[in-house]
Structure formats: C-alpha cells, structure tokens
Amino acid sequence: MAVDATRDSLQQITDSLRSYLETLKESGVTGLPGRVVAEIPAPVRALPEQAPAVAPAVPPQPVMKKEEAVAVPIQPQDMFVASQLENVTTLEALRAGIGDCRRCKLSQGRTNIVFGVGNPQAEVMFVGEGPGHDEDLKGEPFVGRAGQLLNDIITKGMKMTREEIYIANVVKCRPPENRNPEPDEVATCQPFLLKQIDIIKPRIIVAWGTFAAQTLLQVKTPISRLRGVWHSYHGVKLMPTFHPAYLLRNPNDKRLVWLDIQAVLREMGRL
C-alpha cells in the first residue's frame, strides 16, 4: 500500500540521521552549528494505518434574512404608509404630516423641505427631479436660473402665471452635490408625490428632465426618445420634456421644448 511505502521511506531517513549523529559522537563532536541543527527535521510521527475518509465538518454559515438584505428607510409604524394616505385630503394636511421629515438620509444635509407650490386645483402639474442649492435655501422648487427659464416658459409661452400651475419634485430634499436621488430615497418620497397628484387631480403632468421622466414612468429610455410623446402616469396624461437646466447648456433645444409645451396647450384647449 502507498501508506506503508511512505512510512518505510520516512523510517529509513530517521535511521540514517540517527546513525550519522552516533558517528559524530564517536568522533568527539559534541555540538552542531545552529544552522545545521535547524536543518535536521524533528522526529517523524508514525503515520496511521489509514487516512481518515471523511473531511472535518464545516460549521454552517449564517443565512441572511430577507429583511436584513433590504435596507429601505421606511418604518412600518409611520403614519404615511400607502394604506393610510387615504385619510389625507388636503395639501396642508399632507405637509403637516410630513413634518420635519427624517425618513431617509437626504434629511441629513438639507436646509429646507421643498414640498411644492402652486394651485391646489391646477389643471397642469410640473414635476422635476429634486431641489437644487437655491431651492434648498428658499424651500421652493425651481427658483434658480433654471427656475427663471421655467417662469419664461409659463408666462411667455403658455400665457399663464406660476400660481396657476402646481410645481413639485420627485424628492423633497436636496441630494448632496445635486446627484441623482437614489432608489431608497425615491421610494421613501414617492407616496407623498402620489398623494399630491391624488389631491390636486391635474389633467396633465409635465415631467421635466431625464430623471423625473424615467422615475415616473419606470423606464430607462433616454429623454430624447421620451419627449414629445404622451404617456400615462396613474391615469394622468404625462408629457416628458427637457429640463430647464439642460436648456441653459443647450439653448438650441428650446424649440423642442416649445413643441412639447404646444402639445400640452392643445390638450388643455389653450392653443
């Protein structure tokens, strides 16, 4: 057997070393240099007759529970779970219930919650991505340079006032460095936006920009393909178009936004 042959070979090596040491002793050598001693192997244990056939048992690994694998900052006891939003019937009550919201990590860096402004019975509702620096400071959506351009679209293009339209965002707190909102942040804020739409009951929603359009429609289609085409969001007609901030960098595309706004005006019977 292979085990017997290995044992015999090791025994021969041990016997040879023992004989060599006895010869040195007989020659009057009483010590060895440290390096040589280190190179002499320790006595070899006799091998067992048969190697164990079964490997040692591996302790079971802990299994991650489903609730541990998903970290969504929404607490079950929160009054604004979807099933309880039915009890809220006004924008004032909705805003009061949100309170000093700490439901997601966006609250850590915000200055103000940007809830929304405008006509609570608006025929058309504008939805953007999220507050920027100026919006965070003032607590109102679309008030920076992009907001000024939006005001021109409303007053000069639509021949309406800002107060006739309701304006809100997908998330109500400014993301750090104006990054896109993350999925858990969107999931936390979405019930509030849905309830705003339910209370206002607009005929038309205009989704401004890539993120707002893709988030509302749950698609990854580029805004260049989404814009100019009517979609539906919870039964409301939705028109995606370029964000005013994009138009500041790409003024040649203002004509495309004007085409989208004209489609909105036709739907409203204003053109």
Q: Is 137 domain-assigned?
A: yes
Residues 230 and 126 in one domain: yes
Q: Is 205 domain-assigned?
A: yes
Q: Percent of the chain scored above 70 by pLDDT? A: 69
Report pLDDT for 5: 52
Q: Is 183 domain-assigned?
A: yes
Report pLDDT for 132: 95
Report pLDDT for 60: 44
Q: Percent of the chain scored above 90 by pLDDT? A: 66
43 or 245, greater pLDDT: 245
Structure confidence by residue, pLDDT tens digits, 145-164: 999 999 999 999 999 999 99
Residues 88 and 27 in one domain: no
Mean pLDDT of 235-239: 96
* CATH code, domain carrying 222: 3.40.470.10
Residues 179 and 233 in one domain: yes
Tally of structural domains, the chain: 2
Residue-wise DSSP of the chain: -HHHHHHHHHHHHHHHHHHHHHHHHHTT-----HHHHHHSPPPPPPPPSS--SSPPPPPPPPPPPHHHH------TT-TTSGGGGGG--SHHHHHHHH-S--SSGGGGT-SS----EE-TT-SEEEEES---HHHHHHTSSS-SHHHHHHHHIIIIIS---GGGSEEEESSSSPPGGGPPPPHHHHHHHHHHHHHHHHHH--SEEEEESHHHHHHHHT----HHHHTTS-EEETTEEEEEE--HHHHHH-GGGHHHHHHHHHHHHHHHT--
Structure confidence by residue, pLDDT tens digits, 19-63: 555 545 554 545 544 443 334 344 444 444 444 444 444 444 333
Q: Which residue range is the domain that position 115 belongs to? A: 77-268
Is the pTM value of this prediction over 0.85? no
